[in-house]
């Protein structure tokens, strides 16, 4: 199986602070890869470097066989990628349909296709009643849905999603799950980050666990299940301090 | 409310301030602290100085003079005060009371703290010692008993009104679209108010004209005497006598006119002082100096009442918000309902039609960037605010053109036309010099896209073209009405515009790539001022901008020179040369924008970091 994403010693420093410390990712094409880690572990930083939003401090990145650190090759890779970044990538002063039209044209899609997919996506994600609103008037969940629509509009081979289920309602969450499952089923790749174990466990076929900037586990979910549960593995790596349980004694005293 | 609460709140306020400064970089933080310490260190000597001025300096001042002095102080204070207010408004996040409502603090205490918190302004730190010192000096030496209480009442009134205004605006701003509209309106009103004197002077230069007429008349009379003398109608002694008469009459007239205009000014000044509550402080001091008792008491009572009343209203509103009265606005829910009701109609997709348009000669992504940029520019209130500067300049420019001599040299008229185009460039200066700053999170789309970066730059430039062109054409029409250009000169304005615009774009792209600035949503102001980009921008405008634009003046200059030499009259040299120049500039633009595109790609991650940095 060819690799959709491959990194070697990927590193990022913020001043002296090491947010991502030399990780080697290997994501095969056609997999649903969950990048799991506690808050502040370096998930968003990694995804930003993979998609070219953030400069690396060291290491190499190959996405869809192209070197992302090369100006020309990275453009080539970007042609086949869809991304929902951490703080999204919306324009305050456009409506949802205008934004999608713009993104479609950027991807050189024909007008008719754009119009048709716009209708479908807006209806599917429950945004069709909001066409008068500018994005700056959207709620956080609505913004997220719009960003997702823009990411899959061009039907990419590889989808990067940073915490896609944060702040999204249950109905839409179900819609998105089905959508992503279909996406993977026909051979595309999804790379999503989450700090919520259940999501990764339910959706993904492969898992990488990052803790404090280090990749501590990378395997298929099936392999992990052979030796135990994902939760055990996650807590084993992320919750080392839980072994000496810290109690807040004053919280357990009788209320005065 | 106890002392511990008070200390906690002041500590919070201080921390917020310091953190805000630190986000601008270490140099910025140090600068601000130096400024603050300087202001405080200045407060003591300025108090002493103005006390001295009040005691020793104003011995021979008449009540009128006192009025003018205090009017000047009030105007200066209001100017700095409103500048500070604008800054706070654009930052939006002052000291939101709602963040404390869930804490166990009594409401009146929180309210008081919140009000006191707004007093920490540099304008107050500077003006309170100066005014208090002067007032104290005046009352010690001249027995102006009302001065100090009047000053106190004045500051109470201003700060209370401001506080109420801020609270009111804040409650209006809960809707983001409305919020931006308010920021823009308030800024526009301030700009207009402070530009008003300029405008008036340009539109009605009455005093100057009268003076010119008087001296013209005197000169004419002198000339008449000269002629009479030469015609031997009068002898030399008679001429000198009559000349002296004329001069005396002229001087008397001038003095009379001056006195009249002074009297008129005085009447205006007094009227304004009576009508506007901010004038009651100077008025009260003047009337005290005149030995009257009732007017200063009235002024004092009036200002205190306004201040106290406004604080009381603000307090009632706060309680209202606390009890949830003003938070739910039925109006906004109906608009949502309406919006939902018309959704799905073709109208909504029609607005997307603009973004589907094809542009001739331009690649698909560049067209998309241009149209989306233009759309956003039309919608964003801040870009409407941007048009204010060329409006004010346009009025000045137009009145200058109309008052210029009717039959100047033709080349000068063409130069006026070029000036009109320059005004168009000026109109989009702020967005053009920082083309990615206004995209904020949207800039990620460009970084994530596979579009060649030169197409992004081209699209961005084209997005600003309609506005630049619109302003230039409008101004040109005014020029054409007032002082028509020769036909070939008028035709040459087209290549002239293209050359000027493209050179301008190339330069502005450089600035946007190498000196991007973060812009807070709904404002035009950079969110934080850093030294390097500011310096770069300054250097650019001081050197490269004039240099490149002067280059486009060459064709007109050559024509003027050649025709002046009497060669090739009748040949439209300017038109021909400007066409050649336009072709050359187009070629240069094509080559340079590819290079700039590479630079953009190399720097796009750094630019992204700057333009998405959260505003403190
Ligand atoms: N621009 C930045 N400057 C400094 N530190 C940062 C920056 N972005 C992220 N970090 C730090 O890097 C670490 C990882 O952040 P992030 O990748 O956003 O975590 P998460 O796994 O929750 O997405 C955090 O400790 C965060 O504070
Ligand atoms: Mg994150």
Would the pLDDT of B162 be above 90? no
Whole-complex ipTM: 0.90
Q: Helix B122-142 and helix B147-172: axis angle, to 10°?
A: 160
The reply to whether ligand 1 has any atom less than 6 angstroms from the CB of A87 is no
> CA B608 to CA B439: how far, in whole Å?
10
**Residue-wise pLDDT tens digits, B566-582:** 888 888 999 999 999 99
Q: In whole angstroms, what is the distance from residue B476 CA to residue B453 CA? A: 34
Query: Are the CB atoms for B365 and A108 separated by under 8 Å?
Result: yes
Going along chain A from its start, the domains and CATH numbers come out as 1-80+201-243 (3.40.50.300)
Distance from CA of A111 to the nearest CA of B (A): 7
pLDDT bucket at B170, cuts 50 / 70 / 90: low
* pLDDT at residue B324, rounded to an integer: 54
Q: Is A91 in the pocket of ligand 1 (CB under 6 A)?
A: no
* Nearest ligand 1 atom to alpha carbon A43: 21
The beta-strand segments (E) located in chain A are 3-14, 17-23, 26-28, 32-36, 58-63, 66-67, 81-84, 158-162, 189-194, 206-211, 214-220
From the list B339, B356, B445, which residue is nearest A89 (CB)?
B445
Please work out, in degrees rounded to the nearest 5, the angle formed at the alpha carbon of residue A136 by the alpha carbons of B447 and B610. Answer: 40
Say if residues B2 and B9 touch (Cβ distance below 8 Å): no
Listed residue (A190, A144, A148, A151) closest to A169, CA to CA: A144
CA B597 to CA B513: how far, in whole Å? 9
Which run of H or E residues covers position A183? helix A170-185
* Cα separations in angstroms, B70 against B140, B264, B290, B527: 17, 19, 15, 35
> What are the two backbone dihedrals, phi and then psi, of residue B457, each rounded to the nearest 5 degrees?
-65, -45
More confident position, A243 or A133: A133
Whether the pLDDT of residue B306 is over 80: the answer is yes
CA atoms of A215 and B228, how far apart (whole Å): 107
- What distance in angstroms lies between residue A20's CA and the mean position of ligand 2's atoms? 13
Angle at the Cα of B360 from the Cα atoms of B359 and B363, rounded to 5 degrees: 70
Closest of B328, B383, B441 to residue B181, by C-alpha: B383
Q: Is A68 in the pocket of ligand 1 (CB under 6 A)?
A: no
CA distance B136 to A56: 64
Mutate to test the interface with A, among B353, B355, B431 (most CBs of A within 10 A): B355
More confident residue, A37 or B525: A37
Q: What pLDDT does residue B398 have?
A: 78
Number of other residues whose CB lies within 10 A of the CB of residue B15: 10
Instruction: Tell me the three state secondary structure of residue B527.
Output: coil
The answer, yes or no, to whether residue B343 has pLDDT greater than 50, is: no
Asked if residue B119 has pLDDT above 70, the reply is: yes
Which of the listed residues A13, A44, A85, A238 should we mutate to test ligand 1's pocket, taking the one with most ligand atoms within 8 A of CB? A44
Of B541, B535, B533, residue with least CA distance to B513: B533
Nearest ligand, CA A48: 1
Nearest CA among B510, B488, B507 for reference residue B585: B507
Give yes or no for residue A37 CB within 6 A of ligand 1: yes
What's the rounded Cα separation, in Å, for the pair A89 and B456?
A: 16
Separation in Å, CA of A95 to nearest CA in chain B: 8
User: Each residue of B24-69: pLDDT tens digit?
Assistant: 667 777 877 787 788 778 888 888 998 888 888 777 778 888 888 8
With residues binned 3-state (H G I as helix, E B as strand, rest as coil), the percentages for chain A, rounded to 5, are 40, 25, 30
> In degrees to the nearest 10, what's the CA dihedral of A42, A48, A49, A51?
140
Instruction: Kindly report, residue by residue over B485-503, the tens digit of the pLDDT.
Output: 889 999 999 999 999 999 9
Q: What is the DSSP string of B25-53?
A: -HHHHHHHHHHHHHHHHHHHHHHHHHHHI
Please state, in angstroms and rounded to a whole number, the distance separating the CA atoms of residues B286 and B289: 5
| pLDDT in the model for residue B521 | 66
The model's pLDDT over B61-111, given as tens digits with 9 standing for 90+, comes to 788 888 888 989 998 998 888 777 766 655 544 455 656 666 666 767 777
Residue B216 neighbours by CB under 8 Å, 6+ apart: none
Name the band, by pLDDT with cuts 50, 70 and 90, for residue B150: very high
Q: What is the DSSP letter of B173?
A: T
Question: Judging by beta carbons within 10 Å of its beta carbon (0-12, 13-18, 19+), is residue B196 exposed, middle or buried?
Answer: exposed
Other beta carbons within 10 Å of A140: 11
Q: Whose CA is nearest to atom 2 of ligand 1?
A: A14
Residues of A within 8 A of B375 (CB-CB) are: 93-94, 98
Which of A34, A41, A45, A47 maximizes ligand 1 atoms within 8 Å of its Cβ, making it the mutation to test the pocket? A45
pLDDT of res. B595: 97
- Enter the DSSP assignment of B57: I
Residues of chain A neighbouring B598 (CB-CB closer than 8 A): 71
Nearest to B376 among A51, A94, A101 (CB): A94
- How far apart are alpha carbons B166 and B87 in whole angstroms? 12
Asked if A79 lies within 8 A of B598 by C-beta distance, the reply is no
- The shortest C-alpha distance from B474 to chain A (Å) reads 27
pLDDT of residue B329: 41
Q: What is the pLDDT of residues A26-45, one digit of tens each?
A: 999 999 999 999 999 999 99
Continuous H helices in B483-539 = 487-514, 531-539
**Dist. CA A192 → ligand 2 center (Å):** 11
| DSSP letters spanning A39-55 | TTSSHHHHHHHHHTSS-
Range with lowest mean pLDDT among A53-57, A198-202, B209-213, B550-554: B209-213
Q: What is the pLDDT of residues A123-181, one digit of tens each?
A: 999 998 888 888 888 998 999 999 999 999 999 999 999 999 988 889 889 999 999 99
On whether any CB of chain B is under 8 Å from the CB of A69, the answer is no
Q: Indicate the pairing of strand A81-84 with strand A158-162.
A: parallel
Q: Does B448 contact A87 at a Cβ distance shorter than 8 Å?
A: no
- pLDDT (average), residues B237-249: 86
Average pLDDT of chain B, as a whole number: 81
pLDDT of B145: 86
* Cβ atoms < 10 Å from Cβ of A117: 18
Q: How confident is the model at residue B194 (pLDDT cuts 50, 70, 90)?
A: low
B227/B216 Cα distance (integer angstroms): 16
10 Å CB burial of residue B477 (0-12, 13-18, 19+) is exposed
DSSP letters along B182-240, please? Answer: HHHHHHHHHHHHHHHHHHHHHH--HHHHHHHHHHHHHHHHHHHHHHHHHTTSS-HHHHH
Report pLDDT digits (tens) over B171-188. Answer: 666 566 666 677 777 777
Q: Is the CB of A194 under 6 A from ligand 1?
A: no
* pLDDT > 90 in chain B, percent: 27
Q: For residues B373 and B432, what is the distance between their CA atoms, to the nearest angstrom?
A: 11
H helices of B277-387, in order, are 280-289, 294-322, 330-342, 346-356, 364-379, 381-386
Alpha-carbon span A55 to A46, nearest angstrom: 10
Per-residue pLDDT, B388? 67
Chain A: give the shortest CA distance to residue B490, in Å: 37
Lowest mean per-residue pLDDT among B213-227, B296-310, B348-362 = B348-362
Ligand 1 closest atom vs CA A41: 21
**Virtual torsion, Cα B358, B361, B365, B370, nearest 10 deg:** -70
d(CA B382, CA B393): 18
Residue in A12, A19, A234 to alter for ligand 1 test, most ligand atoms within 8 A of Cβ? A19
State whether B343 and A85 contact (CB < 8 Å).
no
Dist. CA B516 → ligand 2 center (Å): 25
Determine the pLDDT at residue A54.
Answer: 93
**B289 within 8 A of B135, measured Cβ to Cβ:** no
The C-alpha atoms of residue B90 and residue B521 are separated, in whole angstroms, by 9
Residues 6+ positions from B225 with CB-CB distance below 8 Å: B234, B239, B242, B243, B246
- Residue B332: per-residue pLDDT: 37
Q: B350-364, B478-492, B516-530 — which one is most confidently predicted on average?
A: B478-492
Whole-angstrom Cα Rg for chain B: 31
Pairing of strands A32-36, A58-63: unpaired
User: Phi and psi of B563, rounded to 5°?
Assistant: -65, -35
Which residues of chain B have a CB within 8 Å of the CB of A97?
Answer: 348-349, 351-352
Q: Which residues, 6 or more positions from A212, have their beta carbon under 8 angstroms from its beta carbon?
A: A21, A41, A42
* Residue B207 CB neighbour total at 10 angstroms: 12
A-B Cβ pairs (cutoff 8 Å, strict) = 130
Closest approach atom of ligand 1 to CA A39: 22
pLDDT tens-digit series, residues A2-31: 999 999 999 999 989 999 999 999 999 999
- Ligand 1 pocket test: pick from A42, A46, A197 the residue with the most ligand atoms within 8 Å of its Cβ: A42
Task: Answer whether B348 sits within 8 Å of A85, measured CB to CB.
Answer: no
Q: B382-394 burial by CB neighbour count: b if 16+ within 10 A, else e?
A: bbebbbbbbebbb
The pLDDT value recorded for residue A119 is: 94
Q: Convert the pLDDT of each residue in B246-271 to its tens digit.
A: 888 888 888 888 888 778 777 777 88
pLDDT of residue B335 exceeding 60:
no
- pLDDT tens digits along B542-554: 777 888 888 899 9
Closest alpha carbon within chain B to A137: B176
What is the per-residue pLDDT for B262?
A: 79
Q: How far is CA B460 from the centre of its chain?
A: 25
Higher pLDDT, A238 or A68: A68
A228 within ligand 1 shell (Cβ under 6 A): no
Q: Which residues contact B311 (CB under 8 A, 6 or more apart)?
A: B115, B160, B163, B164
pLDDT band at B344 (very low <50, low <70, confident <90, very high): very low
Burial class (CB in 10 A: 0-12, 13-18, 19+), A24: middle
Residue in B with minimal Cα distance to A49:
B605
Provide CB contacts within 8 A for B441, sequence distance 6+. Answer: A87, A88, A89, A90, A91, B612
Beta pairing class for A32-36 and A206-211: parallel
Residue nearest to atom 12 of ligand 1 (CA): A19
């Amino acid at each position: 199986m060819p690799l959709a994403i491959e990194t070697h010693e990927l590193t990022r420093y913020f001043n002296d602070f090491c947010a991502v410390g030399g990780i080697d990712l290997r994501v095969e094409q056609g997999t649903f890869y969950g990048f799991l880690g506690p808050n502040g572990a370096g998930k968003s930083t990694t995804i930003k470097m993979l998609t070219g939003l953030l400069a690396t401090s060291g290491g190499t990145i190959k996405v869809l066989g192209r070197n992302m650190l090369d100006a020309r090759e990275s453009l080539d890779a970007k042609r086949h990628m869809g991304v929902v970044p951490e703080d999204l990538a919306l324009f305050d002063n456009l409506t949802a349909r205008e934004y999608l039209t713009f993104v479609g044209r950027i991807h050189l899609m024909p007008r008719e296709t754009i119009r048709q997919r716009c209708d479908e996506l807006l209806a599917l994600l429950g945004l069709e009643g909001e066409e008068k609103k500018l994005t700056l008037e959207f709620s956080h969940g609505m913004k997220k849905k719009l960003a997702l629509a823009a990411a899959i509009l061009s039907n990419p081979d590889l989808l990067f999603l940073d915490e896609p289920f944060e702040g999204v309602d249950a109905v839409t969450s179900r819609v998105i799950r089905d959508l992503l499952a279909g996406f993977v089923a026909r051979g595309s790749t999804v790379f999503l980050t989450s700090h919520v174990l259940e999501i990764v466990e339910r959706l993904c076929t492969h898992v990488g666990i990052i803790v404090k900037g280090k990749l501590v586990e990378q395997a298929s979910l099936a392999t992990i299940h052979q030796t135990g549960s994902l939760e055990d593995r996650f807590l084993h790596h992320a919750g080392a301090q839980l072994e000496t349980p810290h109690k807040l004694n004053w919280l357990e005293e009788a209320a005065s | 409310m106890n002392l511990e609460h008070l200390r906690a709140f002041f500590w919070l306020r201080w921390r917020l301030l310091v953190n805000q400064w630190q986000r601008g970089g270490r140099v910025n933080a140090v600068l601000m602290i130096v400024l603050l310490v300087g202001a405080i260190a200045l407060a003591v000597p300025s108090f002493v100085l103005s006390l001295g001025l009040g005691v020793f300096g104003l011995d021979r001042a008449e009540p009128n003079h006192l009025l003018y002095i205090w009017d000047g102080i009030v105007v200066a204070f209001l100017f700095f005060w409103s500048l500070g207010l604008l800054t706070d408004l654009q930052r939006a996040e002052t000291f939101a009371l709602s963040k404390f409502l869930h804490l166990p603090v009594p409401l009146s205490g929180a309210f008081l703290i919140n009000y006191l918190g707004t007093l920490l302004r540099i304008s107050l730190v500077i003006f309170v010692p100066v005014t208090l010192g002067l007032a104290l000096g005046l009352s010690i030496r001249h027995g102006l008993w009302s001065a100090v209480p009047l000053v106190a009442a004045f500051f109470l009134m201003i700060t209370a009104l401001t506080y109420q205004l801020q609270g009111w605006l804040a409650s209006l701003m809960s809707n983001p679209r409305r919020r931006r509209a308010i920021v823009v309106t308030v800024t526009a009103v301030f700009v207009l108010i402070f530009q008003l004197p300029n405008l008036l002077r340009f539109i009605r230069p009455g005093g100057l004209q009268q003076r010119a007429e008087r001296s013209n008349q005197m000169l004419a009379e002198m000339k008449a005497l000269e002629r009479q003398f030469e015609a031997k109608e009068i002898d030399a002694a008679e001429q000198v006598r009559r000349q002296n008469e004329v001069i005396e009459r002229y001087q008397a007239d001038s003095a009379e006119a001056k006195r009249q205009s002074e009297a008129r000014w005085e009447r205006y000044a007094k009227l304004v002082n009576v009508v506007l509550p901010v004038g009651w402080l100077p008025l009260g001091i003047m009337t005290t100096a005149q030995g009257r008792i009732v007017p200063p008491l009235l002024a004092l009572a009036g200002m205190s009442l306004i201040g106290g009343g406004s604080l009381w209203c603000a307090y009632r509103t706060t309680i209202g918000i606390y009890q949830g009265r003003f938070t739910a606005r039925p109006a906004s829910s109906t608009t949502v309902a309406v919006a939902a009701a018309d959704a799905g109609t073709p109208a909504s997709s029609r607005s997307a039609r603009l973004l589907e348009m094809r542009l001739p000669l331009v690649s698909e992504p560049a067209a998309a960037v241009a149209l989306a940029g233009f759309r956003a520019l039309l919608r964003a209130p801040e870009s409407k605010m941007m048009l204010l500067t060329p409006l004010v300049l346009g009025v000045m420019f137009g009145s200058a053109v109309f008052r210029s001599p009717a039959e100047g040299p033709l080349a000068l008229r063409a130069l006026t036309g070029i000036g009109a185009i320059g005004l168009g460039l000026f109109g989009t200066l702020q967005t053009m010099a920082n083309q990615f700053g206004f995209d904020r999170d949207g800039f990620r789309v460009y970084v994530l896209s596979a579009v060649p970066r030169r197409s992004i730059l081209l699209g961005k430039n084209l997005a600003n073209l309609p506005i630049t062109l619109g302003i230039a054409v409008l101004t040109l029409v005014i020029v054409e009405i007032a002082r028509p250009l020769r036909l070939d000169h008028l035709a040459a304005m087209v290549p002239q515009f293209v050359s000027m615009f493209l050179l301008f774009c190339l330069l502005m792209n450089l600035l946007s790539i190498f000196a991007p600035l973060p812009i807070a949503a709904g404002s035009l102001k950079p969110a934080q001022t850093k030294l390097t980009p500011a310096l770069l921008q300054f250097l650019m405008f001081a050197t490269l901008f004039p240099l490149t634009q002067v280059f486009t003046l060459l064709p007109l200059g050559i024509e003027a020179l050649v025709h002046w030499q009497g060669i090739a009259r009748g040949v439209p040299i300017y038109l021909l040369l400007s066409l050649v120049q336009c072709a050359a500039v187009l070629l240069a633009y094509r080559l340079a924008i590819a290079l700039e595109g590479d630079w953009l790609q190399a720097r796009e991650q750094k630019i992204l970091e700057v333009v998405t940095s959260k505003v403190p």
